[in-house]
Amino acid sequence: MDAPLFASSLSTTADSDAALDEVVGTVAAGLQNRTPDLAVVFVSHDHGTAIESLGPKIARKTGAKVVLGCTGEGIVGSRREIEHGPALSLLAGTAPNTVLRPFSVLARQIAEDKIGFSGLPEIGDAGRASVLLLADPYTFPAGEYLEAMNGAHPGVAVIGGMASGGNGPGQNLLITRDGIVESGAIGLVVEGDVEVRSIVSQGCRPVGKPWVITACKDNLIQKLGGKPAVQVLMTTLEGVSEADRNLLQSRAFLGLAVDPTKSSFGRGDFIVRMLVGIEPQQGGLAVGDHNLRIGQTVQFLVRDAESAGQDLVGLVRDTAGPSSKTTQARGALVFSCNGRGTRMFPKPDHDIGCIQTALESEVPASGFFAMGEIGPVGGRNFLHGFTASVAVFRSRR
């Protein structure tokens, strides 16, 4: 089996033409002048109108059959995370014996309470396929689309992120080899001998004990275990350490159990959602999720920099770390929440540093800080927040 070969480069040069020449030249050398099948690019808004022609230029300069990418508030390379200022990051690679099937999709309102989509990607062999997805947060309901994907292609991982840096529709740009797309989503089916391993690090740990929702409406949990939800939160606060109490009081999270048959839960067993408010009349808790249901198991969670770093390193190491020469990581895409970086961690370059530490050798990588991260938990795809979602390319076992 031919092994895939990837290379990446990050430029902070302000001149757009010079930055593009820099990353293309470095990547060409890393690929030993092989023509890449795939090129993925992320760019800061500092490059302005040059972004409009970026995709076609990359296709022409590299010869890549498929080009996709987007704008980002911050841009990630193999060693650095550029949170401010001009940045252009390119990852390109070969994909032997693998079909790369790009697609685009738009959302449309088909009924008062129902959203439809212009289409779902074609997938031949679900056991040998993954999907990369980049979308505009202002025009594309990614959560609903992922539910449609879960139904149509169960077990197929979707990994990616929501373009960022813009403040409204049309300001976040999606990049293809034909030019820019200002709305909807673009994606790529990767099907064949090149495997895309997915890692979703939500960076939270459970505190207190699990509870079952016994009354809820929309995104409001009214009762947990027959008690007012606020009362349960207060009881939990009283029973945890002072450090965890401070974390819960400053920013509380709730984990929605993925597998309702489990009786004890740990890392990776929850979809993490933020507690967004209190409803004082009923003693309810408002959650950043409208898919609550009676009988669902939940648990309060806390997040700090140390536990988030440990979670990311552990998950990457367990999922895609060194195992053999034939299945070692060849390239990576990183989709980190724009609330991470130095907003969350005391030092810069945190997430990419954790990923490279876990992989134990520097792997070509590219990524961006997203307005929502996409990845599977418990075999189903979700839209996340405050998360690091990672796609690792390697030869399939």
Proportion of the chain above pLDDT 70, given as a percent? 98
The string of pLDDT tens digits covering residues 199-238 is: 999 988 889 999 999 999 999 999 999 999 999 999 999 9
The string of pLDDT tens digits covering residues 353-378 is: 999 999 988 999 999 999 999 999 98
The string of pLDDT tens digits covering residues 289-312 is: 888 999 999 999 988 888 899 999
Average pLDDT for 134-138: 97
Q: Which residues of 63-90 are buried (b: 16+ CB within 10 A; e: fewer)?
A: ebebbbbbbbbbbbbbebbbbeebbbbb
Q: Tell me if 252 sits within 8 A of 233, measured CB to CB.
A: yes
Proportion of the chain above pLDDT 90, given as a percent? 81
Burial tier of 280 (Cβ tally within 10 Å: 0-12, 13-18, 19+): exposed
Average pLDDT for 160-179: 96
